[in-house]
């Protein structure tokens, strides 16, 4: 099964207007100038979505949000609904990133609700899963990922509206990465869990990204693995040259 790789940048809580515009313009220009056989996505903070949308107009780079609320509208101060995100021109939203799970105590149930709402609004989701270092050391990596798949991924998920991102929490922003063999083992187990939940046909087509200190130096090895269908990139997505360098490995 050939799955088109997705190279996604999660800017997290970084960039003010000038920096965000410059970064988005540089990414769009380099994508336009190069030859890539992959899908591109960047996810700026909410404050920059409108500005970045203008920078990406006419490009092959998609726009995504970093989170979403499960309600269409209402008394939810500080939250953003799926329809608002869609109205801004987003095609994707990240859901259940470990920093949301930890900093905001987001449960699998809440993440599931958000995904259902996002799908209903016509948004694609990048649903994040991954283990802590303590869980990894205890040999619970695959069990944790299976539990989060079962709880976070809704029954309406398809290969068209859902992407899974495996991000070992201990590797995010630390410079540490699992071995290529470890990454492949976990991705294969995730695909098996998806097959059990959604069926083999859906699981075989669904993209599973790797995230966790992805950089130009390790991208080629990671993106060559049979069950790695792209990358969700944090720090390296804040430098257009690094982001593009990673993407070049997805087109080989």
CA–CA distances in Å: residue 193 to residues 111, 168, 189, 210: 17, 17, 6, 16
Q: Which residue is catalytic, options 69, 97, 119, 187?
A: 97
Q: Which residues make Cβ contacts (< 8 Å) with residue 125, sequence separation at least 6?
A: 92, 93, 94, 95, 114, 115, 118, 119, 157, 161, 162, 163
**8-state DSSP, 124:** E
Residue 88 near residue 66, CB atoms below 8 Å:
no
- Helix H segments across the chain? 17-33, 49-56, 82-87, 98-103, 108-120, 133-137, 141-152, 180-198, 200-205, 216-223, 240-248
Stated as kind and residue range, the H or E segment containing 230 is strand 230-233
Check if 97 is active-site: yes
Check 99, 119, 167, 187 and give the catalytic one.
Answer: 167
138 vs 171: CA distance, rounded Å: 16
Q: Are 25 and 55 in contact (CB under 8 A)?
A: yes
Active site residue 131: no
Whose CA is closest to 13, among 238, 180, 246? Answer: 238
How far apart (Å, rounded) are the C-alpha atoms in residues 187 and 73? 36
Residues annotated as catalytic are 97, 167
């Amino acid at each position: 099964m050939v799955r088109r790789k997705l190279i996604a940048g999660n800017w997290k809580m970084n960039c003010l207007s000038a920096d965000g515009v410059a970064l988005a313009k540089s990414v769009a220009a380099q994508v336009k100038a190069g030859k890539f056989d992959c899908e591109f996505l960047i996810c700026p903070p909410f404050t920059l979505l409108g500005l970045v949308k203008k920078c990406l107009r006419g490009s092959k780079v998609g726009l995504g949000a970093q989170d979403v609320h499960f309600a269409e509208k209402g008394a939810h101060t500080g939250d953003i609904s799926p329809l608002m995100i869609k109205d801004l021109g987003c095609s994707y939203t990240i859901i259940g990133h470990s920093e949301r799970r930890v900093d905001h105590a987001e449960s699998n149930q809440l993440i599931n609700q958000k995904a259902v709402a996002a799908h209903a609004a016509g948004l694609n989701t990048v649903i994040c899963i991954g283990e802590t270092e303590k869980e990894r050391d205890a040999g619970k990596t695959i069990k944790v990922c299976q539990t989060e798949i079962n709880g976070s991924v809704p029954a309406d998920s398809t290969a068209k509206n859902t992407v899974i991102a495996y991000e070992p929490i201990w590797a995010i922003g630390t410079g540490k990465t699992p071995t290529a063999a470890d990454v492949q083992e976990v991705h294969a187990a995730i695909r098996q869990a998806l097959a059990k939940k959604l069926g083999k046909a859906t699981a075989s087509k669904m993209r599973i990204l790797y995230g966790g200190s992805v950089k130009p130096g390790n991208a080629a090895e990671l993106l060559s693995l049979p069950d790695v269908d792209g990358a969700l990139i944090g720090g390296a997505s804040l430098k257009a040259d690094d982001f593009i360098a990673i993407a070049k490995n997805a087109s080989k």
